[in-house]
């Protein structure tokens, strides 16, 4: 139940991030054409691009985790017994929870401050609000924690049947 819901959310966020990336292409092309042809770049392009890249990364993170898109090196662990491999995979998932938990915890105050003070980035013609970026970091890291917890639970369940679930792309 939770897995299907999180899977649906991750795919919806992936679509949203893809749309944002697609629209960002037009901004960059418009900036380049304006800069080269008219000697007048689009104002605010650096702010829009930097904010959008952070948003895109955090919106797609949970999908990358759930679709085994994260890279892991198994040159050594593949030779271990199945239970040891499963235990290491659970530890790996819990370390992912810890990492994104720290990011989540560290992002709460920044988001609240940006939202309450209406913080902006950029000067002049285009000022980009910071709170959507901070919200994407907060939501993305929170969902990533849930995804790693889900993978850890699946790994524990598979270990009971002497199986190991791949939690990333093997390299």
148: number of CA atoms within 13 Å, CB side? 20
The SS3 call for residue 34 is helix
Mean pLDDT of the region 30-59: 92
Domain ranges of the chain: 2-170
Residue pLDDT, tens place only, 54-65: 999 999 999 999
Contact 84, 166 (CB under 8 A): no
**Better pLDDT: 80 or 133:** 133
Three-point CA angle 57, 62, 64, nearest 5°: 80
CB 40 within 8 A of CB 125: no
Burial class of residue 65, CB neighbours in 10 A (0-12, 13-18, 19+): buried
Confidence of residue 171 (pLDDT cuts 50, 70, 90): very low
Mean pLDDT over each residue of the chain, to the nearest integer: 89
Q: Which neighbouring-strand residues pair with 129?
A: 120
Q: How far apart are CA 90 and CA 5, in angstroms?
A: 22
The pTM of the full predicted model, rounded to 2 decimals, is 0.86
Distances (CA, A) of 101 to 16, 66, 120: 23, 17, 26
Q: What's the average model confidence in pLDDT over 128-152?
A: 94
Q: Poorest-confidence range of 62-71, 88-97, 119-128, 137-146?
A: 119-128
Q: Which of 90, 75, 100 has its CA nearest to residue 167?
A: 90
What local confidence, expressed as pLDDT, does residue 137 receive? 96
Q: For residue 2, what pLDDT band results from cuts at 50, 70 and 90?
A: confident
Choose the weakest-confidence range: 39-53, 89-103, 138-152. Answer: 39-53
């Amino acid at each position: 139940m939770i897995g299907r819901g999180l899977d649906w959310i991750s795919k919806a966020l992936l679509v949203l991030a893809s749309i944002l990336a697609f629209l960002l292409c037009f901004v960059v092309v418009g900036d380049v054409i304006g800069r080269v042809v008219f000697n007048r770049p689009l104002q605010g392009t650096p702010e829009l691009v930097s904010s959008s890249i952070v948003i895109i990364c955090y919106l797609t993170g949970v999908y990358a985790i759930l679709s085994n898109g994260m890279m892991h090196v198994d040159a050594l662990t593949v030779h271990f017994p199945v239970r040891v491999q499963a235990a290491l995979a659970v530890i790996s998932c819990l370390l992912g929870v810890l990492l994104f938990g720290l990011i989540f915890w560290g992002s709460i105050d920044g988001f609240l401050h940006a939202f309450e003070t209406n913080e902006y980035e950029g000067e002049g013609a285009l000022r980009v609000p910071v709170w959507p970026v901070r919200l994407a970091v907060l939501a993305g890291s929170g969902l990533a924690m849930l995804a790693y917890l889900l993978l850890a639970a699946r790994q524990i369940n598979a270990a009971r049947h002497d199986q190991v679930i791949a939690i990333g792309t093997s390299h």
